[in-house]
């Protein structure tokens, strides 16, 4: 295969890979689990919604 053919194959594979990534992200957005408003054990508050979201940002 010539250099031009390899270049074109690399470009096509990049575009197809990015399309698969974006399509997967679009469909994954619909399957996100719900985030509870608060997590309580007995009388003790372990986490609230803001704490969970901040933890996800750190991750």
Q: What pLDDT sits at residue 40? A: 93
- Cα(43)–Cα(59) distance, rounded to whole angstroms? 28
**Contact between 13 and 6 (Cβ < 8 Å):** no
**Contact between 46 and 39 (Cβ < 8 Å):** yes
Q: What pLDDT sits at residue 32? A: 84
Measured in Å, how far apart are the chain's first and last C-alpha atoms?
43
Which residues, including other chains, have CB under 8 Å from residue 35's CB and lie 6 or more apart? 49, 52, 53
Tens of pLDDT, residue by residue, the chain (59 residues): 789 999 999 999 999 999 999 999 998 888 888 999 999 999 999 999 999 999 988 87
pTM score of the predicted model:
0.53
HSE (side-chain half, CA atoms, 13 Å) at 36: 7
């Amino acid at each position: 295969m010539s250099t031009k053919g390899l270049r074109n194959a690399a470009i096509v594979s990049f575009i197809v890979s990015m399309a698969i990534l974006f399509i997967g992200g679009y469909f994954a957005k619909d399957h996100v689990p719900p985030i509870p408003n608060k997590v309580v054990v007995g009388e003790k508050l372990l986490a609230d919604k803001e704490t969970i979201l901040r933890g996800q940002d750190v991750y």
